[in-house]
């Protein structure tokens, strides 16, 4: 086995992607607080840590599965912890298993502190995380991502911090979830040719790149219109329009993927990471906007 630093192990989990899981939980906790629902902040922090553990375990498991399946090779983009030889398959498998055990242990603790409904949400989330690679190979990855990193964690967070599931939070799951889906969509659109070589099927492979690109554009721009609509309906305070400050970032991503006709796939090779940064900016601005509404109302 190779000698690895703590930094190596952390980087192997793809920490740049964690806004996709952490931000939906944080947005939900703040929304609960701003709308006057009971909010246990200690459990909210625990929920953020737990979802990051689940996400990290899922990332590493996906990398292991992709490598063993022949999806990731020397000439593919993205994480190269296995194809470069930096980590062995056994090390990556052990890392994923360790993170999964920690996530399950922490999830069980949170069930004990809350109640059984959280158990079912957690079990579904873990099952989808483990099944993500084969589901992704059959064009269902986008659905799994929406469920694992928007619908389930946001519903679960309402129960964790307030003791009751509030389905109306799913109105917020739409804009947050779309940007999260765009992270995967950018990755899979870039990898159409290499994924085809591995004999798997992703959603962009079904649509083709000419349609997959406009879908990405919709996934990063519709959230702004959705938030505006929620403000007009009264579901969100008008201060939530602060999210529009991040629109130039989204537009920059749109311009990046639009270059593919002239410059090829390399023009947006790292668009998945850029989209994760957009998720961070969008969600943080939404959180700030929600909190500002308390000051304005006072």
Q: Token pair of 118, please? A: 């959280």
Residue 78 tokens read as 């993205």
Q: What is the pLDDT of residue 164?
A: 92
With CA atoms as reference, report the closest residue to 277 among 51, 14, 18: 18
> Given CA atoms 255, 260, 264, 266 in this order, what sign does their dihedral have?
positive
Domains of the chain by residue range: 6-297
Q: Residue 2 burial (CB < 10 Å; 0-12/13-18/19+)?
A: exposed
* Paired strand residues for 201: 138
Residue 264, pLDDT score: 67
Q: Which pLDDT value is given to residue 183?
A: 93
* CB distance 34 to 290 below 8 Å: yes
Spatial distance between the Cα atoms of 249 and 172, rounded to a whole number of angstroms: 20
Helix ranges, the chain (H): 6-12, 19-34, 41-69, 89-113, 117-136, 141-146, 152-162, 170-190, 192-197, 203-207, 209-233, 247-257, 260-263, 271-297
Which residues are within 8 A (CB) of 264 and not within 5 positions of it... i.e. 6 or more apart? none
The dotted CATH code for 6-297 is 1.10.600
The pTM assigned to this predicted structure is 0.92
Average pLDDT by stretches of 10, the chain with 298 residues: 81 90 95 92 94 93 85 68 84 93 93 88 88 90 92 94 93 95 90 83 90 94 97 96 97 89 72 92 96 82
């Amino acid at each position: 086995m190779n000698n690895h630093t703590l930094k190596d192990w952390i980087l192997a989990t793809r920490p740049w992607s964690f806004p996709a899981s952490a931000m939906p939980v944080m947005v939900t906790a703040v929304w609960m607080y701003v709308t006057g629902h009971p909010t246990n902040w200690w459990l909210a922090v625990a929920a953020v840590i737990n979802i990051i553990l689940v996400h990290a375990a899922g990332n590493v498991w996906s990398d292991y599965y992709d490598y063993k399946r022949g999806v990731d090779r020397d000439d593919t983009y993205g994480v190269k912890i296995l194809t470069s030889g930096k980590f062995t398959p056994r090390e990556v498998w052990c890392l994923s298993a360790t993170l999964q055990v920690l996530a399950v242990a922490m999830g069980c603790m949170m069930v004990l502190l809350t109640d059984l409904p959280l158990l079912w949400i957690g079990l579904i989330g873990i099952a989808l995380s483990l099944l993500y690679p084969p589901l992704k190979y059959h064009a269902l990855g986008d659905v799994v991502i929406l469920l694992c990193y928007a619908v389930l964690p946001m519903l679960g967070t309402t129960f964790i911090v307030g003791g009751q599931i509030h389905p109306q939070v799913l109105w917020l799951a739409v804009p947050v979830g779309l940007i999260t889906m765009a992270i995967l969509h950018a990755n899979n659109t870039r990898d159409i040719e290499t994924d085809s070589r591995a004999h798997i099927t992703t959603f962009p492979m079904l649509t083709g790149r000419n349609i997959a690109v406009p879908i990405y554009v919709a996934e990063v721009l519709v959230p702004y219109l959705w938030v505006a609509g929620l403000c007009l309906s009264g579901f969100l305070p008008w201060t939530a329009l602060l999210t529009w400050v991040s629109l130039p970032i989204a537009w920059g991503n749109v311009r990046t993927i639009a270059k593919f006709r002239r410059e090829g796939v390399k023009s947006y090779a790292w668009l998945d990471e850029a989209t994760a940064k957009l998720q961070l900016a969008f969600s943080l601005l939404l959180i700030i906007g929600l909190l500002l509404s308390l000051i304005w109302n006072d």
